[in-house]
Amino acid sequence: MPSTSHTEKPWALIMAAGRGSRLAAAIGEAYKQCLLWHGAPLYWHAARALSRSGAVAGVVFVFPEQRLEDEKQLLRKLHAREDLGMPWLTAGGGELRQDSVHLGLAALPPRTRFVLIHDAARPFVSPALVRNVCESLQQGALGVVPALPVTDTIKTVKADHVLATLPREQLVAAQTPQGFDARLLLKAHQHARGASLAATDDATLMEMAGHAVRVITGEAKNVKITRPEDLALLEDAPRQSRRIGMGYDVHRYGKGRPLKLGGIAVPEGMEVLAHSDGDVLLHALMDALLGCVGLGDIGALFPDSDACFDNIASSVLLCKVLAMTREAGMHPEHADMTIAAQTPRIDPYREKIRNNIARLLNLPRESVNVKATTEEGMGFIGKGEGIKAWAVVSAVTDYG
């Protein structure tokens, strides 16, 4: 796996090939990844967090070989219902977790530089923790492990006798996602296979290969669903909260910027007076998103007194606003917009606008609606002096 750009986003492996026999028996399933939470398998919630971090290029789901086709079909249904906004692949796992990771690494796209390894049974991981792991990789770490200090006293035992008590101040409990240089991790796995070495996580294999592994602060809520009693954590986990934001914008027609709506050029000869590219629809949409997270408006964030925003594409500003929304722990789930213009006619461009906004928001097409109206010849709009747009957005908190 030769390296590419240093700023390349990592791919992730979601490890869903383990049997989890204790928990599986408790829920009446052969595999614990079959457990549904909020209407989706645990591995899908993990994938959501990876996607919403904005820091991951794509994901490989690693399933038991005998369930691979069934899980592929379920993934297609899940993806049709809720687009992850990043490519995904599948791979069959092996007998042990270590074997499954090795097979998952082989399924990565060529030239993948960085890889994250995440347990499917950790559905509470936050997008912020994913970003922290990725940032450490970009800063030069060859391996990164999120971990928390151990609060219990840890003893080594044989049968029912204590052999030793370990110094707690030197112990941490490792979590996932763990991040690595993909080429070095693959070599570490190959070395372990050749030497018949076994490890319970990938950081250990990197340590065995002589590579330094950086430890960053994990999250107390990033627990692994392993035992039957852990099911109570799913019941107690907070449901998503929902917020509604509204945005409005208006631009006057005149010699200025060629008309764009929702990032789509509308070549009808109309121009708008604006500091940026004057995309009235995306401006309203951004203000609606900012309303959901209480972060003001685009006039304050991207003032027309700042030359760096001169003729900037509104889609670029929207990416910044979406990043701010993610940082606030929320993501959009639906957008409803109205354009008011006497001219030009919006209908010929409506579906292109809708599809592009769905792409920008990482939403399925049916979660975006674009309406258009005139003002029957009345007032500012009716006289053809300009164009207005309204947007209403619902956003929900990220799981975990």
Express each pLDDT in 67-121 by its tens digit: 899 999 999 988 887 778 889 999 999 999 999 999 999 999 999 999 999 999 8
The packing angle between helices 314-327 and 280-293, to 10°, is 10
Report the pLDDT averaged over residues 304-331.
87
Which residues line the annotated binding site?
Answer: 249-251, 275-276, 283, 297-299, 302-306, 373-376, 380, 383
Task: Quote the pLDDT of residue 79.
Answer: 84
CA dihedral 135, 139, 142, 146 (to 10 degrees): -40
CA distance 345 to 342: 7
Tokens of 296: 């003001």
Q: What residues have CB less than 8 Å from 286, skipping those under 6 apart?
A: 247, 298, 314, 317, 318, 321
Task: Quote the pLDDT of residue 5.
Answer: 38
Task: Quote the pLDDT of residue 28.
Answer: 52
Dihedral over Cα of 374, 378, 287, 263: its sign: positive
CA distance 345 to 83: 30
pLDDT averaged over every residue in the chain:
88
Q: How far is CA 301 from the centre of its chain?
A: 24
Which residues line the annotated binding site for a divalent metal cation?
Answer: 249, 251, 283
Residue 168's nearest CA partner among 151, 146, 193 is: 151
> Is omega for the bond preceding 344 within 30 degrees of 0, making it cis?
yes
CA distance 270 to 249: 17
* Lowest mean pLDDT segment, chosen from 64-73, 199-208, 229-238, 268-277: 229-238
Q: Which domains does the chain have, with CATH numbers?
A: 11-236 (3.90.550.10), 242-397 (3.30.1330.50)
* Beta strands at 155-158 and 161-165: parallel, antiparallel or unpaired: antiparallel
Phi, psi of 290 (to 5 degrees): -65, -35
Query: How do residues 123-176 score in pLDDT, each as one tens digit?
Result: 889 888 999 999 999 999 999 999 999 999 999 999 889 999 999 989 999 999
Q: Which residue would you say has higher pLDDT here, 34 or 17?
A: 17
Tokens of 200: 């319970």
Using DSSP, state whether 152 is helix, strand or coil: coil
Task: Quote the pLDDT of residue 82.
Answer: 78
* Lowest mean pLDDT segment, chosen from 144-158, 237-251, 325-339: 237-251
